[in-house]
Structure 1
């Protein structure tokens, strides 16, 4: 049996170096060019959709919509839309669900689909859309750092790419800290210091539930104003999303149906969010939505949740995670343009400098990871992102089932 396996491996290597495989590979790569172009265009659309989500969410929060109510409606809508789609598309592919998987789904729902959107809307309420978008490019770097801590990502500090990963992570975190500590003057639009740091006026308390009032007043006692509370929430949002991605990787191995996994995660996230909504609202009147708020919820649930996830999952299979992550720096630019045009938000010097530093750190890390992946692929004869393994003719003497 072992000789048969060695013969099969030799046949595979001979096929990879043959002229027939080279011609077949060229045809497959040329045919994949159009698909790859659509994947790049899809990622641009994803970043634009996320930027529009930040701007639209900020607009409804400015007119007094409860942040938790918004998150509850978004999660409910996303689950209602995604659950039947996952049931129909993956009904023959889903493996059985075990208690351990249910616990993993609950953890994924808590980190990525409960804490993540809740923290971002609270951060949006106390800052602006430009700042919220400027922090999102740090998610891939935070993900890499957390993955390295738990052992998912390996860092070799004796290689050029390993050093770039460490430097890029430090640069990105430094940019996030700079945005938290330095606001600076308004370069575009009108904005004063009081508006920038988010000093609370009497009018902002009227629609705020008691738990949020208690949290904000407690933070103010310790010298943390609402602006910096918003910054902390945005940083927590990035960390929650990073934890979600790191936890999701091993779960996807045991439960590879991505749509069903996300639907289960949304189920638990919706439960968490509804319980939070019961505690964080002052009455049933806060659950009554205006026409503008309904539009914002529809956009958030359908486009910023279901659509973007589907496109990112599809693009990730074609481009790979490193190239997909490279598109995150587009979001701050899109969000700043949209928020300045539609909301009249000022652009502060701190957001520009910090955003540039965050993007620089992101590119260092993602470029190092891309170089590692490219070098690993060029050492072999296959490119798993674009081309499947070649079909090697089976013989009676050998089989891939041989050890």
Structure 2
């Protein structure tokens, strides 16, 4: 009996470190995504059109892979699961991507970057409220979770608001940064829906702020609610595919309100290349890794890797665009890595404790329990019929 247990434990450790490595690679992929789309968006592509082509390509890649690879292990789908997939498509695919690009167009890259560190904070709060993540502030592991999250987010904020001297790269004659070029080159969203919101008294900046806050909430909700869905429907590739399917459907519907005509759907050569990279690497591959890692590490740790994105973006911009790397990026990146290490250590210690390494259960209860927790679990995890079969034994 000891041999299978130890082998499964070693496989769990391997999957855990693969997830950490995969999540770091995802943020590196997004660093390249920022560099490539920086050029494409300067050509004036409509944000919704770009997201539609990107996600349609991702769906076309994921669908056949998920169909054949998970054909034998995929559980049956019921109405509750379809509603869960619709919610994931609404938040993580449709709302997350579109609201960020619209918010970026109406504000500026600095403000957009300053809002993004809220994603791990909102995710952490959602998971604690739902009971997916537990926190005991009377033990060092619980304090380490909170402290590591604060350190990680602080590093991301520091990268945004403190530049410092240039460490790598040389200052050219003009002081216009790549992010400023990106802001100037992007076209503003059009369509009668946007015009109607502006008629209500919302100027460009206020509308952009609302969109950016909505973007962070959407991504946090996507990660937090994806975890219980994966418990009932553990076919992670299929979950990702269904999410992209509903995201694409919602974008088709929204295109009736936010595009002006057929000319918006014509792409230039640079935009086509950006869509190919975004659809294959930044969507299909990256979301696939995040979903798989969510099943292993939990949503809070997945979200904590997102502050690495501006760090990798700075590195990729320096390599391919010649942008400078400033002292603030180095110090902030060090904070982010330190915070990730602290939270990872705390999660590992808690997993040991819940596995029975220490006697007694010290893991705290979720912030909300009783009827509210039961309702959330009923919505996203299904009925009690998914519990282990009591008749199964040796």
TM-score normalised according to structure 2 size: 0.71
Which residue pairs with 1:45 in the alignment? 25
> Structure 2: how far apart are the matches of 1:245 and 1:301?
20
Q: Provide the C-alpha distance between the structure 2 equivalents of 1:246 and 1:346, rounded to a whole number of angstroms.
A: 35
The answer on 1:304 being equivalent to 2:285 is no
Tell me, yes or no, if structure 1 residue 120 matches structure 2 residue 111. no
CA distance in 1, matches of 2:343, 2:22: 23
Any residues of structure 2 matched to 1:16-27 within 5 Å, and which? 16=2, 21=3, 25=6
* Alignment length (residue pairs): 358
Shift of 1:301: 0.8
Picking from 192, 197, 219, the partner of 1:241 is 219
Does the Cα contact within 8 Å between 1:197 and 1:225 map onto a contact in 2? no
- Of 163, 176, 181, the residue aligned with 2:143 is 163
Q: Take 2:297 and 2:146, find their aligned partners in 1: how far apart are those partners?
A: 24
**CA 1:33–1:176 in 2, change beyond 3 Å: closer, same or farther?**
closer
Q: Contact (CA 8 Å) 1:122, 1:233: kept in 2 or not?
A: yes
Instruction: Determine the structure 2 residue equivalent to 1:67.
Output: 47
- Change in CA separation of 1:50 and 1:329 when aligned onto 2, cut-off 3 Å: same
2:143 and 2:86 map into 1 onto residues whose CA distance is 36
Report the 3-state secondary structure (helix = DSSP H, G, I; strand = E; otherwise coil) of the residue aligned with 1:379: coil
Deviation for aligned residue 1:282 = 1.7
Q: Where does the alignment leave 5 or more consecutive residues of structure 1 unmatched?
A: 1-14, 381-398
What's the CA shift for 1:292?
A: 0.9
Q: Give the C-alpha shift of residue 70 in structure 1.
A: 0.4
Distance 2:111 2:92 in 1: 21
Q: What per-residue deviation string (whole Å, max 9, x for no partner) do you get for residues 127-181 of structure 1?
A: 449964x86666444322211123322221211222233344455566667778x
Q: CA deviation at 1:192?
A: 6.2
Cα gap change, 1:315 to 1:258, in 2 (>3 Å): closer
2:117/2:157 contact within 8 Å kept:
no
1:396 corresponds to which residue? none
Higher mean C-alpha displacement, 325-334 vs 353-362: 353-362
Q: For 1:338, which of 301, 308, 316 is the aligned residue?
A: 316
Match of 2:77 in 1: 97
1:78 aligns with 2:69: no
**Superposition pairs for residues 146-225 of structure 1, below 5 Å?**
146-170=126-150, 182=161, 187=166, 189=171, 208-210=189-191, 211-212=193-194, 221=203, 224=205
Partner of 1:56, secondary structure, is helix
Would you say the 8 A contact 2:311–2:333 is kept in 1?
A: no
Larger deviation: 108-117 or 153-162? Answer: 153-162
Q: Distance in 2 between matches of 1:97 and 1:269?
A: 18
* Alignment-derived partner of residue 91 in structure 2: 111
Deviations 1:310-357 (A, max 9, x none): 344556677787876665454332211222444465667877776666
User: Which residue number in structure 2 is paired with residue 390 of structure 1?
Assistant: none
Aligned-residue CA RMSD (Å): 4.5
Question: Pick from 279, 300, 306: which aligns with 2:257?
Answer: 279
Cα offset, 1:71, TM superposition: 0.5
The 3 A distance-change label for structure 1 pair 94 and 401 is: closer
- TM-score of the superposed pair, with normalisation by structure 1: 0.70
- The 2-side partners of 1:317 and 1:247 are apart by 11
Q: C-alpha offsets along residues 334-382 of structure 1, whole Å, 9 cap, x if unaligned? A: 21122244446566787777666666655544443233224445707xx
**CA distance, structure 1, for counterparts of residue 325 and residue 109 of structure 2:** 10
Contact 1:137 1:362 in 2 (8 A): no
- The 8 Å contact of residues 57 and 296 in structure 1, kept in 2 or not, is answered as yes
Matching residue of 1:385: none
**Which of 348, 363, 370 does residue 348 from structure 2 map onto?**
370
Matched-pair contact (CA < 8 Å) for 1:58–1:128 = no
- Aligned residue in 2 for 1:8: none
The 1:233–1:354 alpha-carbon spacing in structure 2 relative to 1, beyond 3 Å, is: farther
Give the equivalent residue in structure 1 for 2:270. 292
Gaps of 5+ in 2: 359-389
